[in-house]
């Protein structure tokens, strides 16, 4: 039986939440990225880079 770990189950949730953030909210995440899971912080950085808005 192969079940997803808790971290894998939460991954889509933070991606969905961060994808909906405004530029200002992304700036806050990036400034406080050490407080977030590494995957969530990396996703926020990728999101800011994809829009061409280098927020940090």
pLDDT tens, residue by residue, 5-25: 555 555 568 888 888 888 888
Q: Which residues contact 26 (CB under 8 A, 6 or more apart)?
A: 18, 44, 47, 48, 55
Q: Which range, of 9-18, 22-31, 39-48, averages the lowest pLDDT?
A: 9-18
pLDDT (0 to 100) of residue 29 = 86
Mean predicted confidence (pLDDT) in 27-43: 87
- What pLDDT, on a 0 to 100 scale, did the predictor assign at position 1? 39
């Amino acid at each position: 039986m192969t079940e997803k770990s808790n971290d894998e189950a939460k991954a889509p949730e933070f991606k969905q939440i961060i994808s909906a953030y405004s530029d200002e909210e992304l700036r806050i995440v990036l400034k406080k990225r050490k407080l977030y899971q590494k995957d969530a912080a990396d996703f926020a950085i990728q999101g800011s880079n994809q829009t061409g808005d280098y927020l940090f």
